[in-house]
Amino acid sequence: MNVAPVIRRLGALLGALAVAAAALSAEAAPLAATAQAPHPWKSGGLWGYVDAGGNWAIAPRFSMAKEFQDDGLAEVAVVLDGRAPGSLLGEKRGIIDRKGNWIVSPSWDDLKHPCDGVALVKSGGSWFLVDSKGSRISASSFKDACPFSEGLALVWTGGLFGYIDTRGAWAIKPSLDGGGNFSGGLAPVKKAGRWGYADRKGKLVIAARFDKAGAFSSALARVKLDGKWGLVRSDGSMAAQAEYDEIDQASEGLWPFRSGKLWGFLDASGAVTIAPTFEKPGDFKSGLAREKDRSSGLWGYIDAKGDWAIMPAYSSAEDFSGSLARVKKAGSGAILIDRAGKEVAIFERR
C-alpha cells in the first residue's frame, strides 16, 4: 500500500488545524474563573460539556474531555481520522476554552496544561515547549515533563530532573533525583535519596530529611518521616507530627488522613477537624466531598463539618466540578446531580 498520499493528507490536516487554532486563540480569551464552567458529559460515545441546567454548552465531539481549570481551559482529545481510530494519527490532544474554541490545536500525543500562553506537548516520544500556534519555542526536548506551576515546569532529561521557565530556559539546571510542583515559592525536591524543599533558584530552604514530600497547599505540605505522615510548615517546623498512616493532598484547606483503616480530615492548622470515620475520602470541591458510608456501602457527600450534605444513595460518585457531580445508582447509568442532590436532566442534542 502506498501511504505517501495518506501522509500528505494528514500533514495538510495538521497544518489546517494549526492555522485555525492560531486564529481562534487570537480571538478567544479564557473566561473568568468565577464564571460557572460547563461539565464534561458523554453522549453517543463522544464527550461534550453541559451547563448547570443540563443544556449542551459544547456539543459532543471529543473522544476524551477533562474538567475546566480555573483559567477557563480544558484538555480534550479527538480522533483526527474518524474512519480508522488508532491508525497513523489516531487520538490527538489539544486545549479548548469554555466556548469550545481551540487554544492549543489537537496535534499532540500528550500535553500538559498551558501556562502564560505556552504548553508542554509530546510528539514522537519527546516533550518540548510550543506557543499557541504550535510553534516550537526552544530547541531543547525532554524525556518527561510535569505541568507548569508558578511559571516553572519539572522536566526530566533522561538522567536528572530540573525546572524550565515559559521560555524554555533552565530556571534550575538538571541536578535533582526528583521534584514536584511549586506553591508559595517552594517545591519538593529529591537529592541523594531524601526529600526537602527548594526555592525558585534551586536553593534548599527545608533540608532534605524526609522519606517523601508533597506540594504546599494552604501553607502546609504533607511529608513522610520514618514510615509515618505529618504536615510541615514553610519554615520547616511541623504543624502535625508524623504519626498518621497516610495523608493525601489537601483540597479547599482540608487534608485527608488515614489512621488504621479509616479516614478523617486535618484543617489548615494541622488539627483534626473531622474524625476518622470514612473508608475512603474524596476531594472537597465546592464545599463538598464524596464519602462512602460504612454501614450501607453507598456513596454520598459531606460538608466541611463532616455532616452528610447529600445522603449516601449512590453505587459510585465523583468529585464535584463546579456545581455538578457525576454519580450512579445500582442498575442505572450515569446521573448528574447539583449541590442539593437534585438530579439534572440532560437535554438531547438537536
Report residue 238 CA to chain centroid gap: 28
CA dihedral 55, 58, 60, 61 (to 10 degrees): 170
Task: Retrieve residue 136's grid coordinates.
Answer: 516550537
pLDDT score at 12: 39
Task: Retrieve residue 266's grid coordinates.
Answer: 486535618
Residue 28 lies in a domain: no
Q: Measured between alpha carbons, how far is 306 from 275 in angstroms, rounded to an integer?
A: 8
Entry pTM: 0.82
Give the pLDDT mean for 70-97: 79
Instruction: Write out the DSSP string of 129-164.
Output: EEETTS-B--S--BSEEEEEETTEEEEE-SS-EEEE
Q: Count structural domains, the chain.
A: 1
Residue 297 lies in a domain: yes
Task: Retrieve residue 219's grid coordinates.
Answer: 501553607
Task: Retrieve residue 133's grid coordinates.
Answer: 500556534
Residue 320 lies in a domain: yes
Residue 3 lies in a domain: no
Give the pLDDT mean for 143-170: 95
52, β-bridge pairs = none
Grid-cell match 526536548, residue found: 141
Q: Measured between alpha carbons, how far is 117 from 130 in angstroms, rounded to an integer?
A: 9
Report residue 288 CA to chain centroid gap: 18
Q: Measured between alpha carbons, how far is 68 from 85 in angstroms, rounded to an integer?
A: 25
Residue 346 lies in a domain: yes
Judged against a pLDDT cut of 60, whether residue 80 lies above it is answered with: yes
β 255-259/262-266 pair status: antiparallel
Exposure on the CB side of residue 228, measured as CA atoms within 13 A: 9
44 Cβ contact partners less than 8 Å away, ≥ 6 residues apart? 60
pLDDT 10s digits, 172-183: 999 999 999 999
Residue 212 lies in a domain: no
pLDDT 10s digits, 197-223: 999 999 999 999 999 999 999 899 999
Judged against a pLDDT cut of 90, whether residue 281 lies above it is answered with: no
92, β-bridge pairs = 78
- The residue type of 346 is I
- Ramachandran angles phi, psi of 131, nearest 5°: -90, -175
pLDDT score at 218: 87
Domain carrying residue 310: 282-350
Residue 335 lies in a domain: yes
Strands of the sheet with 246-247, listed across from one edge: 246-247, 255-259, 262-266, 272-278
More reliable by pLDDT, 34 or 279: 279
Task: Output the average pLDDT for the chain.
Answer: 87
Q: What pLDDT band is residue 280 in, cutting at 50, 70 and 90?
A: confident
255 Cβ contact partners less than 8 Å away, ≥ 6 residues apart? 220, 222, 231, 247, 248, 249, 265, 266, 267
Residue 69 lies in a domain: no
Task: Retrieve residue 205's grid coordinates.
Answer: 530552604
